[in-house]
Structure formats: C-alpha cells, structure tokens
Amino acid sequence: MTGSKDDREFELTVNGKRLTVSGAPVGASLLSVLRDNLGLTGTKGACEEGECGSCSVMLDGNLVCACLVMASTVTEASIATIEGLAPSGTLSRVQEAFVDHGAVQCGFCTPGLIMAVSDLIDRQPNADRETIREELAGNLCRCTGYGRIIAAVESLLNEGDL
C-alpha cells in the first residue's frame, strides 16, 4: 500500500547517535527518513533514482545514495551525514576548501559532493585530476562546470598531510 504509514518504530544510528524513527511510510528510503522523520535536511534529494549523488551519505564507511537504501534495512549500520562533518559548527577541511575556492553556487549538489570528496581524500590521498573526475562522476552539478570543485579537491590533496 504505497504511502501508508508504518506503525512500527525502528532505530537508526546517525552521526553516532541512536535515533528513533516513527511514522515513516512503509518502505521509506533512507533519504526520506533522514529528511522527513529525523529533520536532517542537509542531505538533498533530486533524482531519487541513484543518478545524481545529491543524497550521498556514508553507510558503514561506504559512500551510498540514500535514495536507494530502504531505511528499515539499515538499523544496525553506522550512518554518517553532512551534519556529522561539522557537529560543533566549525567547518570541516573539505567544506572550507569549497568555500575558499568558490566551489558552491546554488549549493544543491554541495552536501553530496562534500561527502564524496571527504571519502575520496581518505581513500585516495594521491589522486590525480583524472581520478578525481572519475571518483566524482556520480555527483552531478548543474552550476559550476566542476572546475572550482576540482580545484578545491586538489588543494586538499596538495596539503600533503592528510
């Protein structure tokens, strides 16, 4: 029954906190539960079919599209969202680099890109430009043309002390 509410509560671990989800639609995606049930609206939804990357979050250390994950199936997982990168209000290194390089225009793609770049610099601290482009190919931006985003990432990799 599409759109019906799930009477059962379940819990998710998001940014290190155990949170109770109640009243979510049956089969709700992690994206919709994060935004609509838990109020974590930093994660954005656009295509809702795994094509744009705007909903990128970390799930047990892996970058995933939250729109493709059924929330009730990840109750034992560790989920990290954009809100978890700056819990005290101080920007993360990646967020600062985006600001410094003017890599944000409308900002809709930015949370997903910040999550993807944070993951990239952890996994591939020596990535070259081609690798950066390949790694970020799943995160679409309609505004920037990617040049300033790539520059922001390269500035992080060039710090040499990751």
Q: What is the binding site for ligand FES (CB under 6 A)?
A: 45-48, 50-55, 65, 67, 104-109, 141-144
Q: How far, in Å, CA of 124 to CA of 28, rounded?
A: 33
Q: What is the sign, positive or negative, of the torsion defined by CA atoms of 43, 33, 134, 141?
A: negative
Name the residue nearer to ligand FES (CB basis): 41 or 105: 105
What's the min distance (Å) between Cβ of 111 and ligand FES?
10
Closest to ligand FES by CB, 1 vs 24, is 24
Closest distance to ligand FES from the beta carbon of 29 (Å): 8
Minimum distance from CB of 92 to ligand FES (Å)? 18
> How crowded is the C-beta side of 25, counted as CA atoms within 13 Å?
14
Q: Which residue lies nearer to ligand FES by CB, 9 or 48?
A: 48
CA atoms within 13 A on the CB side of 157: 19
Task: Kindly tell me which of 106 and 126 has the beta carbon lying closer to ligand FES.
Answer: 106
138 neighbors 68 (Cβ within 8 angstroms): no
CB of 104 to ligand FES, least distance (A): 6
72 closest CA partner among 17, 33, 19, 14: 33
